[in-house]
Amino acid sequence: MYSGFMSTPERLIEATRELLWERGYVGTSPKAIQQQAGAGQGSMYHHFAGKPDLALSAIRRTAEEMRAAAEATLGGGGTAYERISAYLLRERDVLRGCPVGRLTMDPEIIASAELRAPVDETLDWLRGRLAGIVQEGLDQGEFSAGLTPREIAAAVVATVQGGYVLARASGSPDAFDAGVRGLLSLLAPVDTTQ
């Protein structure tokens, strides 16, 4: 499944990432990780102290990738609205859900401060990054003066994460798309030409 050029620790991390996304922490057994990675038990425990250690590496990697993907659109050119719109409309596997957001529904991860930390940090970073962009839009007169950057950022993240849940529940990306369109219409820039 993985490239022959990938080291055993990398294969183990990638396998764990995939399995956490598909099955959650409890549903991801060391044996399933080893099978998916094409690695033996000895290899797994040679490179990682155990399942929690490997899961933490996988969660950190997933969080880093989510930040990079978000920053690719949020850090692009354009107005604040265009950047938020690009983030909301970017290509996603909506029916599969968010690999970071899905971790928040896993009781074992939420119960562990160490495993939960990269999830919290990533969602905090995203809200902060979005709030900064909303503030830029306010400073440029692009958005209505009554908007509160932190609240709008929270609404953007809630729309995306809630959209994933609704899409998965219905088996269709339509609910996600409708939520995004609705939020974008609410955020539409102020027309200063009238």
pLDDT tens track for 22-31: 998 989 999 9
User: What pTM was computed for the model?
Assistant: 0.90
Give residue 26's identity as a one-letter amino acid code: V
What is the band of 192 on the pLDDT scale with cuts at 50, 70, 90?
A: low
The answer, yes or no, to whether residue 175 has pLDDT greater than 70, is yes
Mean pLDDT (the chain, rounded)? 92
- Rounded CA-CA distance 184/180 in Å is 6
- Rounded CA-CA distance 59/40 in Å is 21
- Sort 49 into a burial class: Cβ within 10 Å, 0-12 / 13-18 / 19+: exposed
Cβ atoms of 37 and 2 within 8 Å: the answer is: yes
Exposure class string for 95-111: b at 16+ Cβ within 10 A, else e:
eebbbbbbbeebebbee
Largest CA distance in the chain: 70
pLDDT tens track for 87-104: 999 999 999 999 999 899
